[in-house]
Amino acid sequence: MSSPTPTSSFLPLEGVRVLSLALNLPGPAALLRCRGMGATCLKFEPPGGDPMALYNKPAYAALHEGIAIETADLKTDAGQQQLHAELAKTDVLLTSFRPSALRKLGLDWTALQARHPSLSQVAIVGAPGERAEEPGHDLTYLAESGLVTGTELPPTLYADMGGALLASEAVLKAMLLQSRKAGGVYFEVALNASADWLALPRTWGLTQPSGAVGGAHAGYRVYPCADGRVAVAALEPHFASRLCEAAQIASRDMLALATHEALAAWLAARTRAELEAMSRERDVPLLTLAD
């Protein structure tokens, strides 16, 4: 039997032109995803630029690699002419304004459809429908979804990056629909919906403290070791059994407090090198970390 043919060279958006007016993180991250799928990407920035360039230049540079950037003041006639000249040859417009701001700029869906009937729009908003006018940011959307569990900030911007994935997915859906029917289509992507999607495992109880991947299972935790930490992911019974054999723990009840305590004590006495060697020898999924 022949090996599967790699599809890494497949570019589903090759030949597609995407124009973005979206600033900060979700829009540029979505545009970068589209660029990676072969789209020709152009971004219009206001005269003051994208705020991301002010508070994190490396992030801005990474997000805009391979993206053409033009400056346009959309509040002026010249800026509007510049924009609509590009929209006339664009397949998908990506925005992240509130609906009221889009209406003021003449870029609401009704106005766009009348002027550019073949153009599709992917509108990134904070919350869907009537809530799209509400102010918010990644942190508030995560808090609303139950993903802020203490006073520490989350380690990354989950709602923004999840929203970027949903937005790039919407671009793909728009082009798929355009291949089946004439005319552009409209998709709204809500960042709080992306947070809700990411929060589903917690909603189902999987990552709650009582859940198997929330700390209740002794084989799925982060433990101190002799010279750092170890992320143990021996969740399935065969992995858990191998881990317990290595640690000489007779019990296979991975929910029992005694198993937690015995495994913690055994791991605390082992170095990262010892644990990595055990992982390779016994095929146990774990990763050691420096303090």
181 pLDDT more than 90: no
Reported as a single tens digit per residue, the pLDDT across 135-169 is: 999 999 999 999 999 999 999 999 999 999 999 99
Chain CA centroid to CA 260, Å: 33
Q: Is 38 helix (H, G, I), strand (E, B) or coil?
A: coil
Range list of H helices, the chain: 26-36, 51-55, 57-63, 77-87, 99-104, 109-115, 138-144, 158-178, 191-198, 200-203, 237-246, 257-268, 272-282
Residue 291 confidence (pLDDT): 85
Overall average pLDDT of the 265-286 stretch: 98
| Sign for the pseudo-dihedral over CA of 255, 261, 267, 268 | positive
DSSP designation for 214: I
Which residue matches tokens 């960042």?
Answer: 191
CA distance 38 to 254: 47
Q: Within 10 Å of residue 123's Cβ, how many Cβ atoms?
A: 24
CA 51 to chain centre: 20
Q: Is the distance from CB of 178 to CB of 91 less than 8 angstroms?
A: yes
**pLDDT at 4 exceeding the cut of 80:** no
Predicted pLDDT at 182: 80
